[in-house]
């Protein structure tokens, strides 16, 4: 009777391991096989012997999984999310190859639950030489959380690929997907999350980043319109004036992750309520993060029609207001100008540091200064700044050098900082708030743009009209004890 022989794919299925793990074990000599031409072959008895001696799924991998799961569960227990009985349930998983899928499923669930309850905006899985580092971005800062073993890390990435409907065997290409997660473990109704996932190959494997969006919080922010977006009284009045314009171009800009999309959707909801639902509002978005009643939202497909083609199509539907999620080419910029000139309000979202550079960006896309000046009605630039934790907040007097450099003209300057406590995970910060710079383009400002003035001259004209920059707004927050000087300097310039 001939001995059973497996090819590589059959061996991977038999061992129930990932392809990268299989390749690494084969290269290191742990797995015994032989070549037929250029193809590897494996005796079944050698694979069984390897499983029994090395314990692949049955001992080593399960031990790694349980250790990683235990780490996240201990964190969740301290936060009151899991109880001891739920933790102990993992220890009772029986030893069999089929249970690896259950263990990696539990690990992914615990990872997500921990990141949600830590209020992380992003999860980063970074492959290193000795494993996969789990990192969270919390309140704007990236923090190391846990180093997983290479085997556990690979299995976790495969699990996440399956959850996002991506190809698990593709490891040398950029991939992106989306995961919708619902959980009953978090109180206060914050239990639905939209997770955007991106994968890119790097030197030690695949790097995976997941951007987290709380659907409940996003819905609350959008439903409230502009009032919930933490504008100051003066800024709120200006912003309402901008979005009350009957036609023209409005820019909403900021760095990545600064809350631009939330502001844009809040503005659309404000217009919808202001017009009692009688405005025809349409939007073009690469990813529809907030489904909105009363607004026709169109998703721009990566391999389908782009913004330019869809904008042409939209005009057949007689819109009053159009939101455009990105402007990346001269054709789209030109189409936007034509739409704004024909009696429509068009709101565009850009990624640039401030109002002035967003204006410069559109000029660099080919919009003539006179044309841009004729359509531009208002612009908003924004950042998110971390707030000092109220539980451990303390007052102090800064050095003379700091006062002279940042607070000249102020007397008796006192600042605040967070000492760090359990409430804020010893960071000194808890929560974030927005800072905004707003500009309404009157005749004089439009003339400055039409004359082709550079950024510095345009800034000067703005400042003569009482314009206050993001840095000035951030310093106000420092003096009022909302945030620290270090944080203000980090998010503004």
Spacing of C-alpha 67 from chain mean position = 29
- Does the domain formed by 224-491 have CATH 3.40.50.300? yes
Query: What residues does each domain of the chain span?
Result: 5-54, 58-213, 224-491
pLDDT (0 to 100) of residue 134:
97
Q: pLDDT of the chain along its 493 residues, tens only?
A: 467 889 988 888 887 777 777 887 787 777 888 888 888 999 888 888 877 666 544 456 677 888 899 899 889 888 888 776 666 655 555 444 456 778 888 999 999 999 998 889 899 999 999 999 999 998 778 999 999 998 899 889 999 999 999 988 888 899 999 999 988 877 566 788 989 999 999 999 999 999 998 877 766 666 666 766 778 788 889 999 999 999 999 999 998 888 898 899 889 999 998 998 899 999 999 888 778 889 999 999 877 788 999 999 999 999 999 999 999 899 999 999 999 999 999 999 999 999 999 999 999 999 999 999 999 999 999 999 999 999 999 999 999 999 999 998 888 899 999 999 988 888 899 888 899 999 999 999 999 999 888 888 888 988 888 888 999 999 999 999 999 999 999 998 7
How confident is the model at residue 95, as a pLDDT? Answer: 46
- pLDDT, residue 258, reads 87
pLDDT of residue 89: 58
Q: What angle do CA 413, 415, 416 make, to 5 degrees?
A: 160
**Under CATH, which architecture does the 58-213 domain have?**
2-Layer Sandwich (3.30)
**SS3 annotation, 275-335:** CCCCCCEEEEECCCCCCCCCCEEEECCCCCCCHHHHHHHHHHHCCCEEEECCCCCHHHHHH
pLDDT confidence of residue 94: 44
Return the pLDDT at 13. Answer: 81
Q: What is the dihedral of CA 439, 441, 447, 448, to 10 degrees?
A: 10
Give residue 486's pLDDT.
Answer: 95
pLDDT of res. 314: 93
pLDDT digits 0-9 by tens, 33-89: 888 888 899 988 888 887 766 654 445 667 788 889 989 988 988 888 877 666 665
pLDDT at 1: 47
pLDDT, tens digit, 9 for 90 and up, residues 129-165: 999 999 999 877 899 999 999 889 988 999 999 999 9
What pLDDT is stored for residue 166 in this prediction?
92
């Amino acid at each position: 009777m001939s001995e059973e022989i497996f090819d590589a794919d059959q061996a991977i299925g038999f061992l129930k391991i990932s392809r990268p793990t299989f390749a690494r074990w084969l290269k290191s000599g742990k797995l015994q096989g032989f070549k037929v031409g250029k193809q590897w072959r494996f005796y079944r008895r050698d694979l069984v012997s390897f499983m029994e001696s090395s314990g692949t799924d049955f001992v080593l991998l399960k031990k790694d999984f349980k250790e990683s799961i235990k780490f996240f569960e201990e964190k969740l227990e301290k936060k009151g999310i899991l109880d001891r009985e739920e933790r102990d349930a993992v220890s009772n998983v029986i030893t069999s190859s089929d249970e690896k899928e259950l263990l990696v499923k539990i690990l992914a669930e615990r990872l997500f639950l921990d990141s949600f309850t830590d209020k992380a905006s992003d999860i980063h899985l970074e492959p290193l030489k000795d494993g996969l580092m789990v990192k969270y971005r919390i309140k704007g800062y990236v923090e190391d959380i846990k180093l997983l073993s290479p085997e556990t890390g690979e299995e976790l990435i495969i699990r996440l690929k399956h959850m996002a409907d991506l190809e698990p065997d593709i490891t040398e290409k950029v991939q992106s997907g989306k995961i919708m997660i619902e959980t009953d473990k978090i109180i206060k109704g914050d239990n639905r999350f939209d997770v955007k996932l991106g994968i890119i190959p790097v030197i030690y494997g695949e790097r995976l980043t997941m951007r987290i969006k709380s659907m409940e919080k996003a819905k609350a922010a959008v439903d409230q319109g502009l009032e919930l977006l933490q504008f100051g009284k003066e800024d709120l009045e200006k912003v309402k004036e901008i979005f009350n314009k009957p036609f023209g171009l409005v820019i909403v800009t900021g760095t990545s992750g600064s809350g631009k999309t939330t502001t844009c959707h809040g503005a659309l909801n404000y217009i919808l309520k202001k017009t009692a639902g009688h405005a025809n509002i349409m939007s073009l978005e690469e990813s529809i993060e907030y489904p909105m009643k009363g607004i026709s939202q169109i998703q721009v497909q990566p391999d389908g029609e782009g913004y330019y083609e869809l904008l042409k199509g939209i005009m057949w539907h007689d819109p009053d207001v159009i939101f455009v999620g990105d402007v990346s080419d001269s054709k789209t910029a030109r189409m936007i100008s034509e739409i704004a000139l024909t009696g429509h309000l068009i709101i565009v979202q850009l990624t640039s540091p401030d109002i002035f550079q967003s204006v410069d960006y559109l000029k660099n896309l080919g919009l003539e200064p006179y044309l841009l000046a004729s359509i531009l009605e208002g612009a908003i630039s924004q950042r998110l700044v971390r707030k000092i934790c109220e539980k451990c907040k303390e007052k102090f007097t800064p050095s003379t050098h700091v006062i002279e450099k940042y607070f000249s003209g102020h007397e008796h300057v006192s600042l605040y900082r967070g000492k760090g406590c359990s409430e804020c995970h010893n960071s000194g910060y808890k929560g974030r708030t927005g800072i905004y710079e707003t500009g309404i383009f009157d005749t004089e400002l439009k003339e400055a743009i039409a004359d082709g003035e550079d950024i510095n001259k345009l800034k000067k004209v703005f400042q003569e009209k009482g314009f206050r920059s993001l840095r000035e707004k951030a310093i106000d927050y420092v003096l009022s004890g909302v945030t620290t000087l270090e944080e203000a300097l980090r998010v503004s310039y």
